[in-house]
């Protein structure tokens, strides 16, 4: 793809034939060494793919109140990875790869939910990335956040185990800290046809996840992008969800381009 960086979730380790051409950063940028066991090492990763950008990885530490310049306090288990990206002849910006992992209800609830809920992890992610928010004016920030939230945007709430109201608070909190929702939304990706039953007829959601082996029948958009207000005007996002471009994963790729200012 000739991309400069890759934000990955639930990915395997790079194969040997390309590992030498990928910048992974030190282990500390994804492993706090306190509670992130290596079982979660690929939940949220950030990889450098070209020499057109410089990357400074933030090492993860426990959720302390006063981090050092190269530290990123995190509270979740393998849910985020962050780095500062500096393109040639352009201003740097912070990039966060996120994965809202499923959380099971406590045994005392006697819940029948098989996988649990993802909004709890998503809120931990928002709390963690808030460390990069230092002013009430969002235009002072240059932040790009992308990844798998394991939830859809603006659903009807008509499905069993729907947590629509809870999930909406994730988008509300992102907006509250000055992060604009970038989609991807139609026409920047193929819509599901016919419209899935969990979405309104005028939805702009584009499927990014296939629950079976055929991208043609994909219905769920679980992958999302946010960017700081102001900075977002230079960011474009497209879901690479056409059948022929989907790729081998159950999630399609998102192409994110950051233009010059």
**CA-CA distance, 7 to 98, in Å (whole number)?**
8
Specify whether the backbone of 114 is left (phi greater than 0), alpha (psi in -120 to 50) or beta: alpha
Bond into 61 cis (ω within 30): no
DSSP string, 36-90: --GGGTTSSEEEE--TTEEEEEPEEE---SS--TTEEE--SSS-EEEEEEEETTS
Backbone angles phi, psi at 125, to 5 degrees: -60, -45
Residue with tokens 């399609």: 252
Q: Which of 172, 206, 210, 203 is nearest to 192 (CA)?
A: 206
Q: Which of 34, 5, 30, 132 is nearest to 81 (CA)?
A: 30
Q: Contact 25/55 with Cβ under 8 angstroms?
A: yes
| Structure confidence at residue 23 (pLDDT) | 77
Q: Above 80 in pLDDT, residue 231?
A: yes
Q: Which two tokens stand for residue 46?
A: 């950030």
Q: Above 80 in pLDDT, residue 202?
A: yes
If one compares 195 and 14, the residue with the highest pLDDT of the two is 195
pLDDT digits (tens, 9 = 90+) for 38-94: 544 545 677 888 999 999 999 888 888 898 998 888 887 778 889 999 999 889 999
pLDDT digits (tens, 9 = 90+) for 129-179: 999 999 999 889 999 999 999 999 999 988 777 789 999 999 999 999 999
- Average pLDDT for the chain: 89
Backbone angles phi, psi at 16, to 5 degrees: -55, -30
The CATH number that applies at residue 55 is 3.60.10
Q: Contact 49/22 with Cβ under 8 angstroms?
A: yes
pTM comes to: 0.92
C-alpha of 109 from chain center: 29
Tally of domains in the chain: 1
| Structure confidence at residue 39 (pLDDT) | 45
Residue with tokens 């910006």: 93
Range of the domain at 233: 5-258
Q: Which two tokens stand for residue 60?
A: 């993860």
Q: Above 70 in pLDDT, residue 28?
A: no
**CA-CA distance, 32 to 232, in Å (whole number)?**
30
Residue with tokens 């230092």: 134
DSSP E strands, 71-164: 71-73, 80-87, 93-99, 143-148
| Structure confidence at residue 30 (pLDDT) | 61
Q: Contact 57/83 with Cβ under 8 angstroms?
A: yes
């Amino acid at each position: 793809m000739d991309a400069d960086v890759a934000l990955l979730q639930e990915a395997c380790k790079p194969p040997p034939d390309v590992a030498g051409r990928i910048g992974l950063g030190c282990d500390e940028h994804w492993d706090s060494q306190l509670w992130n066991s290596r079982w979660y090492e690929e939940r949220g990763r950030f990889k450098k793919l070209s020499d057109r950008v410089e990357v400074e990885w933030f090492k993860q530490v426990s959720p302390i109140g006063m981090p050092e310049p190269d530290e990123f306090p995190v509270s979740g288990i393998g849910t985020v990875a962050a780095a500062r990206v500096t393109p040639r002849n352009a201003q740097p910006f912070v990039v966060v790869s996120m994965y809202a992992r499923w959380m099971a209800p406590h045994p005392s609830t006697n819940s029948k939910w098989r996988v649990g809920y993802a909004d709890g992890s998503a809120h931990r992610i928002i709390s963690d990335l808030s460390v990069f928010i230092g002013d009430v004016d969002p235009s002072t920030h240059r932040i790009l956040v992308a990844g798998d939230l394991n939830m859809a945007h603006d659903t009807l709430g008509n499905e069993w185990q729907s947590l629509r109201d809870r999930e909406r608070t994730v988008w509300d909190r992102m907006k509250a800290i000055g992060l604009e929702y970038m989609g991807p939304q139609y026409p920047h990706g193929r819509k599901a046809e016919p419209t899935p039953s969990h979405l309104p007829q005028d939805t702009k959601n584009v499927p990014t996840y296939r629950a079976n082996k055929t991208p043609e029948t994909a219905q769920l958009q679980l992958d999302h992008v946010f960017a700081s207000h102001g900075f977002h005007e230079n960011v474009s996002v497209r879901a690479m969800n056409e059948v022929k471009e989907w790729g081998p994963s159950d999630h399609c790729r998102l192409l994110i381009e950051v233009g010059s200012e």
